[in-house]
Amino acid sequence: MRTQTLDAFQVIADPSRRQILTMLSKDSMTINSLAENFDMSRPAVSKHIKILYTAGFISITDIGRERHCVLKQDGFDEIQDFINYFDKFWDGKLKKLQMILNNKAK
Amino acid sequence: MQKEIKHTFYFSQTPQEVWEYLTKPELMEQWLMPSDFKPVVGHHFRFTNPNNSFVVCEVSEVKPFTNLSYIWKNDWAVTKTPYTSKVSWTLTPMEGGTELLLVHSGFELFKDLSAHNSGWMFLVNKLGELFKAGKK
């Protein structure tokens, strides 16, 4: 299987991967129990899990024979950064507009 | 986690005057970015960033002195992180000036998550916990 390096946005662009994240937001789950929720093959689910793992969205712990998936913060940070960037961008731009208009009013 | 951006600003000018700064390229450039904007629904235009990259836009709503919105995308030809979003301006006349509301929303990437709102909220709450846990 080819190794994929995707950024955070490409990772969550896929509906199945978002579904996995949503399921994990309720509780940690084993790869097997996650796979039961999908029509696709077990290897296909594993591939999505691997992508989520590589991008830092989940961590995987081996307990006995089972592999447990848990949400992890790192992957989400990049998305939050993106929103924060635009939040600051507009705040800065609007303050500039306010300054221009205030000066005009004088 | 926040999925839309909102800012409200107040100006002592009338909505007509504020509108000019949202719709005339020579005035927009003073506070935002250079562009070939026209207040015509369906008009495609671009903002030029200082680093010469583009924001690719299309006007989606023009209601003079009241509402203006455009689709706001990054330049998909050069980016590895494509996104589509929407910028909406709402002007409300007030005593002594204008209230200007900006909403930057609909980040395409978050669309499905928003559609499954309960799942999304769960995820948001979980993330809130994760952020707190991370800070300890």
Residue found under tokens 């994760």: B130
pLDDT tens readout for residues B72-89? 887 655 555 556 788 999
Residues of A in contact with B130 (CB under 8 A): 71-73, 76
Token readout for A33 is 């129990």
The reported pLDDT for the residue numbered A10 is 75
> What pTM, to 2 d.p., does this model score?
0.65
Is residue B122 classed as helix, strand or coil in its secondary structure?
A: helix
The DSSP annotation for B49-60 comes to -TTS-EEEEEEE
Contact B58, B67 (CB under 8 A): no
Q: Using one digit for the tens of pLDDT, what is the confidence trace for B94-112?
A: 999 999 999 988 665 444 4
B126 and A104 in contact by Cβ < 8 A? no
A56: left (phi over 0), alpha (psi -120 to 50) or beta: left
Interface size, chain A vs chain B, as Cβ–Cβ contacts under 8 Å: 87
For residue A17, what are the β-bridge partners? none
Asked if A22 and B95 count as a contact pair (C-beta separation under 8 A), the reply is no
Whether A90 has its CB under 8 Å from any CB of chain B: the answer is yes
Looking at chain B, the number of H-run helices and the number of E-run strands are: 4, 6
Contacts of A76 in chain B (CB under 8 A): 1, 127, 130
Q: Are B70 and B57 in contact (CB under 8 A)?
A: yes
Most B CBs within 10 Å, among A10, A18, A37, A78, to test the B interface = A18
Instruction: Considering only the beta carbons, identify the residue of A25, A100, A105 that sits closest to B126.
Output: A25
- Please spell the DSSP secondary structure of A33-97, one letter per residue: HHHTT-SS-HHHHHHHHHHHHHTTSEEEEEETTEEEEEE-SHHHHHHHHHHHHHHHHHHHHHHHH
Question: Which chain B positions have a beta carbon within 8 Å of A93's beta carbon?
Answer: 31-32
Residue pLDDT, tens place only, A25-81: 888 999 999 999 999 999 999 999 999 999 899 999 998 999 999 988 888 777 777
- Is the ipTM reported for this complex over the cut 0.95? no
